[in-house]
Copies of this chain bind each other. A is one copy, B any other.
Amino acid sequence: MREKLTEEKVFKDPVHHYIYVQDQTIWDLINTKEFQRLRRIRQLGTTYLTFHGAEHSRFSHSLGVYEITRRIISQFERNGYPDWPREERLVSLCAALLHDVGHGPFSHSLEEIFDTDHEVWTCNILLGDTDINAVLRQVSEDFPAKVAAVIQKTYPKPIVISLISSQMDADRMDYLLRDAYFTGVNYGTFDLERILRVLRPYQGKIVVKESGMHAVEHYLMSRYQMYWQIYFHPVTRSSEIILRQIFRRAQELYREGYTFGWMASPLEKLLNNTLSLHDYLKLDESLAQTAFSEWAEESDELLADLCGRFLNRRLYKYVTIDNPDETWLSEVADALLSAGLHPDYHMEIDYPFDLPYDVYRPDQKNGEKREKAPILLLDNEDRISEISVKSDIVRSITGLRQGQYHLYFPEESLQEKKAILSDRMIQLFRLNETKPTPM
Bound together, the chains give a CA A142 to CA B57 distance in angstroms of: 42
Q: Are B185 and A190 interface neighbours, CB within 8 A?
A: no
* Chain B residues whose CB sits within 8 angstroms of the CB of A282 once the complex forms: 293
Q: Are A289 and B229 interface neighbours, CB within 8 A?
A: no
- Asked if A48 is at the interface (CB within 8 A of a chain B CB), the reply is yes
Within 8 Å by CB of A36, from B53, B189, B311, lies B311
Within 8 Å by CB of A52, from B51, B63, B314, lies B63
Within 8 Å by CB of A217, from B6, B225, B286, lies B225
Given A7-B435, A287-B290; A17-B48 close (CB under 8 Å) = no
- Indicate with 1 or 0, residue by residue over A224-238, a CB within 8 angstroms of chain B CB atoms: 110011000000000
* Chain B residues whose CB sits within 8 angstroms of the CB of A33 once the complex forms: 308, 311-312
Instruction: Output the least CB separation between A103 and chain B (Å).
Output: 16
Q: Are B286 and A9 interface neighbours, CB within 8 A?
A: no
- Asked if A31 is at the interface (CB within 8 A of a chain B CB), the reply is yes
- Asked if A137 is at the interface (CB within 8 A of a chain B CB), the reply is no
- Indicate with 1 or 0, residue by residue over A313-331, a CB within 8 angstroms of chain B CB atoms: 1100000000000000000
Q: Are B183 and A12 interface neighbours, CB within 8 A?
A: yes
Within 8 Å by CB of A439, from B10, B290, B308, lies B10
Stretch at the interface among A150-158, A336-344, A347-355, A396-404: A396-404
Instruction: Output the least CB separation between A361 and chain B (Å).
Output: 14
* Chain B residues whose CB sits within 8 angstroms of the CB of A31 once the complex forms: 312-314
Q: Which of A396-423 contact B (CB under 8 A)?
A: 396-397, 400, 402
* Chain B residues whose CB sits within 8 angstroms of the CB of A14 once the complex forms: 53, 181-184
Bound together, the chains give a CA A224 to CA B224 distance in angstroms of: 15
Interface size grouping (class) on chain A: 35 or more
- Asked if A193 is at the interface (CB within 8 A of a chain B CB), the reply is yes
Q: Are A224 and B393 interface neighbours, CB within 8 A?
A: yes
- Indicate with 1 or 0, residue by residue over A4-25, a CB within 8 angstroms of chain B CB atoms: 0011011111110110000000
Bound together, the chains give a CA A438 to CA B7 distance in angstroms of: 10
Given A10-B197, A439-B12; A191-B183 close (CB under 8 Å) = no
Bound together, the chains give a CA A439 to CA B285 distance in angstroms of: 26
Instruction: Output the least CB separation between A239 and chain B (Å).
Output: 12
- Asked if A372 is at the interface (CB within 8 A of a chain B CB), the reply is no
Q: Are B184 and A13 interface neighbours, CB within 8 A?
A: yes
- Asked if A60 is at the interface (CB within 8 A of a chain B CB), the reply is yes
Within 8 Å by CB of A397, from B7, B17, B396, lies B396
User: How often does this chain occur in the complex, in copies?
Assistant: 4
Name the residue of chain B whose CB is nearest to the CB of A183.
B12
* Chain B residues whose CB sits within 8 angstroms of the CB of A367 once the complex forms: none
- Asked if A55 is at the interface (CB within 8 A of a chain B CB), the reply is yes
- Asked if A364 is at the interface (CB within 8 A of a chain B CB), the reply is no
Q: Are A12 and B53 interface neighbours, CB within 8 A?
A: yes
Bound together, the chains give a CA A190 to CA B31 distance in angstroms of: 30
- Asked if A214 is at the interface (CB within 8 A of a chain B CB), the reply is yes
* Chain B residues whose CB sits within 8 angstroms of the CB of A439 once the complex forms: 9-12
Bound together, the chains give a CA A287 to CA B288 distance in angstroms of: 10
* Chain B residues whose CB sits within 8 angstroms of the CB of A73 once the complex forms: none
- Asked if A221 is at the interface (CB within 8 A of a chain B CB), the reply is yes
Q: Are A186 and B182 interface neighbours, CB within 8 A?
A: no
Within 8 Å by CB of A197, from B18, B32, B37, lies B18
Instruction: Output the least CB separation between A312 and chain B (Å).
Output: 4
- Asked if A392 is at the interface (CB within 8 A of a chain B CB), the reply is yes
Name the residue of chain B whose CB is nearest to the CB of A49.
B39
Within 8 Å by CB of A13, from B6, B15, B37, B52, lies B52
Instruction: Output the least CB separation between A359 and chain B (Å).
Output: 10
- Asked if A106 is at the interface (CB within 8 A of a chain B CB), the reply is no
12 pairs of residues in contact across A and B, judged by CB atoms under 8 Å:
A9-B438, A14-B182, A39-B52, A55-B55, A186-B189, A186-B190, A187-B191, A187-B218, A189-B189, A214-B229, A264-B294, A393-B397
